[in-house]
Every structure is written in C-alpha cells, then in structure tokens.
Amino acid sequence: MGGHHVNHPEERTPIRERTPTRDTRDAARARRDTARHSGQPRRAAYDVLAAVEDRAAYANLLLPKLLAERSIIGRDAAFATELSYGTLRGQGTYDAVLAACSDRPVAKLDPPVRHVLRLGTHQLLATRVGAHAAVATSVDLVKSVAGPRASGYVNAVLRRVATRDLDAWLTIVAPDQKADADGNLAIRYSHPRWIVAAYRDALGDIDQAELEALLDAGNARPRVTMATFPGGPPPAQVMPAGAVAGRWSPYAFTLLSGDPYPLIASGLGAGPGASGRALARPVRRPRRQVPPARRPGRGYHRWRRPTSKAGRGRASPAPCRPRQGSTYPSACPRVREPCPHVRDARSLSPGR
C-alpha cells in the first residue's frame, strides 16, 4: 500500500473551465436543429425532386400526397414545402454554384447525389438553416439514399458552397452581362436561357429593369389563397391572424404564412383559389317572362320524328320553343318565312 500515492482533494490540479467557442456553439446549434427537424421533411423533399426528374411528376400534386401519407404536418410540412419548391425554383442557379464547387459536372453525378446537393445548396444559400445543420443533415440523407461512399464528397462540396452567400456566388458564376445578357439573367434568376430569350423577343424593346422584374416575379413564393363557403361563417370570423381579405371575391382570403391544414380539416375553408370562388359565387337570376305572342304553338316550328308507325321515316312539324334574343333568323321549313327562334332550322331535319 505504501508504494501507491493517493492525491488528496487539495493536491489535485484544478481543471480549467472551458470557454465555449464559436465553433462549439455552432455545433451545438446544429445538433439542436437536427433534433428539431427530423429527416422526414428532407426525405419528402428529396422524393419530390427525384420524381420530378425521373418521371416528370408534378410537384404540386405529389408533395401533398407524400405529406398526408407520412403524417407530416405543421412546421415540418412547411419546411418540406419550402425545400421542395425552393430547390426546384433555384435549380438553375444552384447547379451553376455546384459546378464551381465540384470537380465533376453536375449532369454526370449520380441522381441521388445530385438531388441531395441541390437540397443542401438551397438550405445554405436561401434559408435560415445553419450551415452546420444543412451540411450534417445532407450527409445523413445521402447515406440513406446512396450509401456511405458518397458522404465524403457531399460534405466537401457543401462546405465549399457555405464559404459564400448567394450574391457573392452570383458575381462568380454568372456570365458577364455585356458579353452574354441572356446567360447572365438565366443564372441570376434561375430561368432557362430559352425562356429569357423568348421573353425578350415577345416583349420587344423592353427595358432591362422590366425584364429583370418579370423574371424575379416568376421566382416569388406563391401565397395560399383560401375561401369560405357561402352560407357559412364570413371570412372575418375564419381568417387567422395575418391573413388578408381577397381582392376579387367576398369569400376569399390569402394566408401570408402559416399552415392552411387546420382550416381545411375543420371544414371552415377550402383552397380553390380566389378566381374559382368568384366564379362559383351564386347569382340570383330574374325569371324570364315569355311574351304571349312568342309562346309555343303560334306558328313557330321545329322538326321531330313521328312516333307512329304510319309516319315513321318522315319528319313532321311540331311547335318550336322560342329563343329570346336570337339575332340569327333563318328560314323555317314549315311556314317558309324567317323564324327568329331557330338559328339553323335545316340542321334539325333528319339526315343532317
């Protein structure tokens, strides 16, 4: 026992308290973000991107189905929606950035790797997701869809993307505006070059600022327009906080943010759009009054087939039903005078 030395508490060397650094705080924030945002929203967005590229699926039809099947609601559903639509909107720009950060052409990458890189780039350049969280979750996603071999490549490429913001990358990857105006706009506003050229040709001598505003409007996030039902509660009682009343219909309102699912599930609102709801607005029509002189049986006729065997195969006249307001008179085959109620009486005869 005498050969072993035991340190008394007062003899122990005090441990220096560690001051949390910026990297430590970012790593902790990344872990919290990963725990808060499960892999379901990102996997749903990945499946949408894959379906759009592989089988030309419609994202707006596929995504709601995936969200319902996987029970993704609330903030996770909003996050999956932003990832899916945002990545598709910015795909042209993101591919140019990825080409600058990778030694392989984007078109020759394996499709799963390409989809994950696009999702990660959108999170880094166009969302408020932290850089560590965007990279870490993208690495986890590519491991699940493409295996662990591609994780190192995805990690390296996305770390290069995270070194600059979107504006800085655009100054690097976009062509010179004077040398290639259409190419510059195509990269900056994520539109195919042929669409930019078609806009320029269709609009003629349009100002450059107007063309840029038009392309920018094409990338704006669409707002959700909902409507109440006629006979139900008015929109003022149904609209959540922050909603705006519709412009074209008294039943419509627009959600600037939030989840429309609770309103739809409760049966208080639907989302056909303000224009559809305006067209479906009930209108009370006045009852049409037919003057006595224009009622059936006053010499206006149409052709019909007889029901008796004796007259089968021949056409017999019958009183025609008047059409008020018709301005296309034609010869009535019975009385041989202009009949203002049949547009083309000959087309009613048998065999025509």
Q: Per-residue pLDDT averaged across 49-62, rounded?
A: 92
Looking at residue 257, the DSSP 8-state letter turns out to be: S
- Domain residue extents for the chain: 28-168, 175-218, 224-279, 321-352
Q: Per-residue pLDDT averaged across 200-226, rounded?
A: 85
Q: Per-residue pLDDT averaged across 326-350, rounded?
A: 42
For 160-175, write each residue's pLDDT tens digit: 999 999 999 999 999 9
CB 256 within 8 A of CB 244: yes
Count the neighbouring beta carbons within 10 Å of the beta carbon of residue 121.
27
pLDDT value for 166: 96
Q: Which two tokens stand for residue 285?
A: 């029509």
Mean pLDDT of the chain: 76
For 248-302, write each residue's pLDDT tens digit: 788 888 887 666 767 777 878 776 544 454 445 554 455 555 555 554 544 444 4
CATH C-level class of 28-168: mainly alpha
Q: Per-residue pLDDT averaged across 302-308, rounded?
A: 47
Amino acid identity, position 66: L
Q: What is the pTM of this model?
A: 0.61
Looking at residue 147, the DSSP 8-state letter turns out to be: -
Position 126 confidence tier, pLDDT thresholds 50, 70, 90: very high
Amino acid identity, position 215: L
